[in-house]
Amino acid sequence: MSYYKHHVFFCCNQRKNGEASCNDHGASDMRAYAKDRVKELGLSGPDNVRINQAGCLDRCELGPVMVVYPNETWYTYVDKSDVDEIVEEHLKNGRVVERLKI
C-alpha cells in the first residue's frame, strides 16, 4: 500500500544551455499553484495527495510535464485551468484527464 493515494511530481528543471526545459513554461509556479489547490480542497497529506518538485523527468520536448503515481499517468498542461482540471478530475475524483495525458 502506498503512503499517498496520489504522489505528484512536477518537473521543474531549468537547463542552462538553452535547451527546452519545463521551467521555461512556468513549471515551478504551476507546482506551487497545484500544492495550494490540493491544500484548499483538503486533499493533502498521508493517505491522500502529495505534490513534489522533481528535477528533469527526461520528457522536456513534451513539457511542461507532471506524473501522478502510483497510476504512472503523465500529463502536460498549459495553464492553471489545466492544473485545476487534473486536481479535480484525477486527484479528487480518480478520473484520468485524457486530453492532457501524454
Q: What is the pLDDT of residues 45-77, one digit of tens each?
A: 999 999 999 999 998 788 799 999 999 999 999
Given a cut of 90, whether residue 38 has pLDDT beyond it is: yes
The CA-based angle 25-27-33, given to 5 degrees, is 125
Q: List the chain domain ranges.
A: 6-100
14, 67 Cβ separation under 8 angstroms: no
d(CA 30, CA 78): 9
Q: For the whole model, what pTM was predicted?
A: 0.94
70, 2 Cβ separation under 8 angstroms: yes
What does the mean pLDDT of the chain come to?
94
Architecture of the domain whose range is 6-100: 3-Layer(aba) Sandwich (3.40)
22, 67 Cβ separation under 8 angstroms: no
